[in-house]
Chains A and B, each alone.
Chain A
Amino acid sequence: MIQRMEAAPPELGRLRNVALIVGIIGAALTALGAVLDTRQFFFSYLIGYVLWTGVAVGSLGLLMVHHVAGGAWTLVIRRILEAATRTIPLMLVLFIPIAFGIHQLYEWSHEEAMAANELLQHKAPYLNVSFFLARFAVYFIVWLVLAYLLNKWSAEQDAQAETRALEGRMQRISGPGLILFFLTVTFAVFDLIMSLDPEWYSTIFGLIMATAWGMSAFAFAVTIFIYLRQTEPLRAVVLPAHLHDLGKFMLMFVMLWSYLSFSQFLLIWSGNLPEEIPWYLRRMSGGWQYVSLGLVLFQFAFPFLLLLSRDIKRNPRRLVAIALFLLAVRWLDVVWLVAPEAHREEYRSAFHLHWLDLVAPLGIGGLWIAFFAWQLGRRPLLPRHDTLLEKAFHPAHH
């Protein structure tokens, strides 16, 4: 259907340049912040790192869901997801400051803190620096291998007329890949976020974060898709029906995140156990309770009610506004997860928002988006020979 091979649209170049400028300024300010307040720098950096790793790794999960389920309507954002998974090597490089910040960030890395607490002594075989780094090596190997193979086969699709064999291969690796995805994401967020309070544990936390990362990745992909909708070759496929489907999927993420987050809260509230409740007590006092309420309103109630509307889902401007709003709320959510632990006392934490909490995510995000836009421009925006593509042009007669 699409005969011509288009060069990357100029919109993409503009996005890359703006992102690069924001990224460089943000990175410079973050480096300044690192000199001024090293401890604060690491916590703010962790916020930015978790937020953007979520978009990159979440895209890998969504891509594999697409390959397993095989829908024409996710095909239209597949190249965007693929470009996002090609940024995982960048996330590996950006992990280096986290590795240097382990002692600043994580109480369990201090021998004397571990020795003083009997509960933590039992966790020591898991919570120690060398095993922490070894685990991240495993997570990154899994993510990089899956992203490499899926991108390689997808690129080969463009060179062949008959791509069923490649599609079968991508589908077969995505099933086991999704199992690995959920395992690695679960343990990665346990390590990055949950272990900030080494006594706290919640088994559902991995699933909450996998959903949240999926939401970040999906909101980002929808934003880029709508931003590029007027350019070739997307112009031919962007129909209200696609936007409608993408909007429904976004609603699903909002509901699933709310459902899982409330489940975690309800279980901890009902159990009322001394190792579990301080994590919530810190977020229900000292000013953080307003942020908690804000998350209920802005990551659940508000987008939930808006996305129920059919007209909003089919209107590109409104849908992209909700997607951008959700990305902003994802930042607030990560701040809520990380920042109360930076100044924690046992049962409370005073609200404290440092300018670095905003600047570090912006800096990392700018660099990340610039890298992403460069990667996206290197391949056609649609897999031209995929057997599902014909269906993507005529979504009405499923």
Chain B
Amino acid sequence: MAHTEQERPEIYGVIAEFETPTELVEAARRTRAAGYRHVDAFSPYPIEELNEALAIRRTRLPILIFLGGLIGGLSGYLLLYYTSAIDYPINVGGRPFNSWPSFVPITFEMTVLFAAFSAFLGMLGRNGLPRPYHPVFNVPRFELASRDRFFLLIEATDPKFDREETAGFLWGLNAREVFEVEP
């Protein structure tokens, strides 16, 4: 795909297609070793070694989820405490109004619910999703990334990026094909 025109528009980056996850991980490792930093990888399923190969930082999402769970659990307990001990106390078999053992299931459920909400919404927020448009969609074969192909993208913003050289570098990593990504 490396045509040579005189006046070419700016591009978003260069993307390489691989046939196996092993090739992708190896390519990611070598890209990182070659000094590229603005690199992203696409795969139909999670590949754990990729995080390490691309030196992706661990997300801070767990803290958000923990806080969400904490808020859920507290609000669940307070709801029960308020309704059964303050607002409308009923004597059930002589048990105390604030019967913590019977409040535990709801507190637990609310903890799980709020933690799950914070996980889901926090993940979307930090990923920048939903995202109807992304330049990689301009590469026709990119839809295979959700089927059986593996892609490695080097963005043009990378300080080391050079249109010809980077494409050549990706070819050298045993890519099946290399495409330019229009912005």
- Residue numbers of A with Cβ under 8 A of B are 241, 262, 265-266, 269-270, 272, 396-397
Contacts and interface: CB of A to CB of B under 8 A. Distances in A.
Interface of B: 21-22, 47-49, 93, 95, 101-102, 104-105
Given A396-B49, A397-B21, A272 B102 contact: no
Contacts of B104: 262, 266
A266 B102 contact: yes
Label chain A's interface by main secondary structure.
helix
A269 B101 contact: yes
A396 B48 CA distance: 6
Nearest to B93: A272
Query: Which of B48, B49, B104, B105 has the most chain A CB atoms inside 10 A of its CB?
Result: B48
Contacts of A241: 48
Contacts of A272: 93, 95
20 contacts: A241-B48, A262-B104, A265-B101, A266-B101, A266-B102, A266-B104, A266-B105, A269-B101, A269-B102, A270-B101, A270-B102, A272-B93, A272-B95, A396-B21, A396-B47, A396-B48, A396-B49, A397-B21, A397-B22, A397-B47
A262 B21 CA distance: 44
Contacts of A266: 101-102, 104-105
B136 to A, nearest CB: 23
Contacts of B21: 396-397
Contacts of A396: 21, 47-49
Nearest to A270: B102
Contacts of B22: 397
Nearest to A263: B105
Nearest to B20: A397
Query: Which of A241, A265, A269, A397 has the most chain B CB atoms inside 10 A of its CB?
Result: A397
Contacts of B95: 272
Contacts of A397: 21-22, 47
Contacts of B49: 396
B131 to A, nearest CB: 27
B119 to A, nearest CB: 13
A262 to B, nearest CB: 7
Contacts of A265: 101
A384 B66 CA distance: 43
Contacts of A270: 101-102
Nearest to B21: A397
A322 to B, nearest CB: 19
A248 B112 CA distance: 18
Given A266-B102, A270-B101, A397-B47, 7 more contacts: A265-B101, A266-B104, A266-B105, A270-B102, A272-B95, A396-B21, A396-B47
A272 B95 CA distance: 10
A272 B104 CA distance: 17
A251 to B, nearest CB: 15
A265 B22 CA distance: 51
Nearest to A240: B48
A167 B9 CA distance: 60
B49 to A, nearest CB: 6
Nearest to A271: B93
A272 B93 CA distance: 9
A397 to B, nearest CB: 5
Nearest to B92: A270
A228 B96 CA distance: 53
The 9 closest A-B pairs by CB, nearest first: A269-B101, A266-B101, A396-B48, A397-B21, A396-B49, A272-B93, A270-B102, A396-B47, A262-B104
